[in-house]
C-alpha cells in the first residue's frame, strides 16, 4: 500500500507572521494524521522558521526548487545540501511555473532531480501538459518526454526514492480541476510507462495530483486507484482548507 501524501506548495506567498500562523493552524488542527503524510513547502527564506515550528511534529518540510549544482559561483541559487541543513525532506522540481515562466528545460529539471537525490532530498517531480497540448491530444507524449529526461539521466532506480506530481497546467490556479477520470488516466499512464522499466518501482511510486485541489473535490480525486495524494497550491494557504484536503486523503 502506498501511503498518501498531501504537500502544500506555498509558491511566492508568505511572511514570517504567516508562516507562524499557518503552520500553527495546521498543527493545531491535525490531530492524528489518519495515516496520511503531510508536508509544507514555504519559500526558501522561511524554511528555518518552519523547521523550528515543525520540530517533533509529524509534518515534513520541503522546498519549492533547488539548484542543479552543489556549490560554487551560481549567484542566487540554493543547493540541496543547504536545503538539507535547514530541515528539508522534500523538494519540488520541474513545477510548470519554473518550466514555463523561467524557461527550465526537461534536461535542467532532470539535473535538479539528480542534485536533490545526491543531496539526500526526496524530489517531487512535476509533469503535466499545457492546455493546447491537451487539445492537440499530445498529453501522453508530453508527460512521457518529461519523465524520460529523468529516466535517461538517473535511471528507473531513482524513482524508488522520489515522488511524481501530475499537474495539468490548465488546472493550476484556474479553479478548473481535471475530472477524477482525466487525472486517473494520466496517472495510470505514468505508472505503466515506469512499469516497463521496473514493475516494483512503478508499484511503489507515489503519484500526486495537482491543480485546483480543494477540500470539496479532494476525496473523489484521491479515491482513484493511481492517485496517491495531492500537491496543493492556493488551498494550502489556509489551514482549514488544507486540513480538509489532508482529511480527504485519510
Ligand atoms: P493550485 O496549484 O492548487 O493553486 O492549482 C497547484 C500547484 O501549482 O502545485
For the chain, domains (ranges, CATH) are 5-249 (3.20.20.70)
Supply the pLDDT for residue 33: 61
pLDDT tens profile 167-182: 999 999 888 889 999 9
Report CA(72)–ligand 1 centroid distance (Å): 32
Supply the pLDDT for residue 148: 98
Residues 141 and 180: beta-carbon distance below 8 Å: no
Residue among 172, 214, 237 to mutate when testing ligand 1 (max atoms within 8 A of CB): 172
Considering the chain, what is the average pLDDT of its residues? 97
- Residue 129 pLDDT class (50, 70, 90 cuts): very high
All three cell numbers of 246, joined, read 489532508
- Residue 132 pLDDT class (50, 70, 90 cuts): very high
Q: How far apart are CA 88 and CA 130, in angstroms?
A: 30
Q: Show the beta-strand stretches assigned E in 65-189.
A: 90-93, 122-127, 163-166
pLDDT tens profile 47-90: 999 999 999 999 999 999 999 999 999 999 999 999 999 999 99
pTM: predicted TM-score of the whole model, two decimal places:
0.97
Residue among 234, 236, 238, 244 to mutate when testing ligand 1 (max atoms within 8 A of CB): 234
Amino acid at each position: 500500500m502506498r501511503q498518501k501524501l498531501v504537500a502544500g506548495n506555498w509558491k511566492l506567498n508568505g511572511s514570517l507572521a504567516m508562516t507562524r500562523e499557518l503552520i500553527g493552524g495546521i498543527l493545531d488542527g491535525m490531530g492524528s494524521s489518519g495515516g496520511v503524510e503531510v508536508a509544507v513547502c514555504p519559500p526558501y527564506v522561511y524554511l528555518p522558521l518552519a523547521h523550528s515550528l515543525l520540530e517533533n511534529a509529524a509534518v515534513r518540510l520541503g522546498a519549492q526548487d533547488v539548484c542543479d549544482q552543489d556549490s560554487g559561483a551560481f549567484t542566487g541559487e540554493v543547493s540541496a545540501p543547504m536545503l538539507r541543513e535547514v530541515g528539508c525532506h522534500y523538494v519540488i522540481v520541474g513545477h510548470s511555473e519554473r518550466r514555463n515562466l523561467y524557461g527550465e528545460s526537461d534536461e535542467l529539471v532532470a539535473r535538479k532531480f539528480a542534485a536533490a537525490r545526491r543531496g539526500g532530498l526526496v524530489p517531487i517531480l512535476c509533469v503535466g501538459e499545457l492546455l493546447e497540448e491537451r487539445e492537440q491530444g499530445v498529453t501522453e507524449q508530453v508527460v512521457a518526454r518529461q519523465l524520460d529526461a529523468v529516466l535517461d539521466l538517473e535511471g528507473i532506480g531513482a524513482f524508488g526514492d522520489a515522488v511524481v506530481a501530475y499537474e495539468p497546467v490548465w488546472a493550476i490556479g484556474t479553479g478548473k480541476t481535471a475530472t477524477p477520470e482525466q487525472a486517473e488516466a494520466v496517472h495510470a499512464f505514468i505508472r505503466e510507462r515506469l512499469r516497463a522499466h521496473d514493475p516494483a518501482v512503478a508499484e511503489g511510486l507515489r503519484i500526486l495530483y495537482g491543480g485546483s485541489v480543494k477540500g470539496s473535490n479532494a476525496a473523489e480525486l484521491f479515491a482513484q486507484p493511481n492517485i496517491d495524494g495531492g500537491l496543493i497550491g492556493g488551498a494550502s494557504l489556509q489551514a482549514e482548507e488544507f486540513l480538509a484536503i489532508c482529511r480527504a486523503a485519510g
